């Protein structure tokens, strides 16, 4: 379990094909600039889990500064993914646990996670990881 480093880009883009991506984006200036920004942002944690030297699971945890709740930040978790042939081995759970530890260290008062999945197994996975779908209502506006 670790945070991503510069050499992980290609492996992560490949992993995201098991999330919802249809293709790997072109290696252009926009991709490179975005990758550099992510790696340089101390509040943007791109967590990876390796097994046998390969990245098999990942999630993103962003710590967001906040002026409410005693000026305590909150964390947003996104892009939780495990390689299809590595699912069911607790790799994503380890990623989420690492994200939780980062959020606790940052003094966050809550963590939020959205999923587009309606698969009962996926929803049960998030519930088992400590998330609930009853406290808040999520609204999304696609741009």
pLDDT at 39: 98
The CATH number given to whatever domain includes residue 45 is 3.40.630.30
Q: What is the mean pLDDT of residues 6-19?
A: 97
pLDDT at 49: 98
Dist CA 140 CA 115 (whole Å): 11
pTM over 0.75: yes
10 belongs to a structural domain: yes
Taking alpha carbons only, the member of 62, 45, 56 closest to residue 18 is 56
pLDDT at 34: 98
139 belongs to a structural domain: no
74 belongs to a structural domain: yes
| 129-137: long-range pairs with CB below 8 Å, 24+ | 129/93, 129/96, 130/100, 136/112
143 belongs to a structural domain: no
Range of the domain at 10: 2-128
pLDDT at 4: 98
pLDDT at 103: 98
What mean pLDDT is reported for the chain?
96
Domain count, the chain: 1
pLDDT at 69: 97
pLDDT at 42: 98
Which residues sit opposite 77 in a β-bridge? 61, 113
pLDDT tens per residue, range 73-126: 999 999 999 999 999 999 999 999 999 999 999 999 999 999 989 999 999 999
110 belongs to a structural domain: yes
pLDDT at 84: 94
Dist CA 100 CA 92 (whole Å): 12
Q: Rounded to whole angstroms, what are the CA distances from 70 to 59, 65, 99, 108, 116?
A: 27, 11, 21, 10, 31
């Amino acid at each position: 379990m670790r945070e991503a480093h510069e050499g992980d880009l290609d492996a992560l883009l490949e992993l995201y094909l098991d999330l919802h991506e249809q293709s790997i984006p072109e290696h252009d200036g926009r991709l490179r600039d975005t990758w550099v920004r992510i790696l340089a942002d101390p509040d943007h944690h791109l967590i990876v889990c390796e097994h046998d030297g390969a990245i098999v699971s990942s999630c993103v945890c962003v710590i967001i500064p906040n002026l409410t709740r005693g000026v305590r930040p909150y964390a947003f978790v996104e892009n939780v993914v495990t390689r299809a042939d590595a699912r069911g081995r607790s790799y994503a759970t380890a990623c989420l646990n690492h994200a939780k530890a980062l959020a606790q260290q940052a003094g966050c008062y809550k963590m939020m996670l959205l999923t587009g999945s309606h698969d009962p197994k996926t929803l049960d996975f998030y519930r088992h990881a400590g998330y609930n779908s009853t406290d808040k209502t999520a609204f999304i506006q696609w741009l």
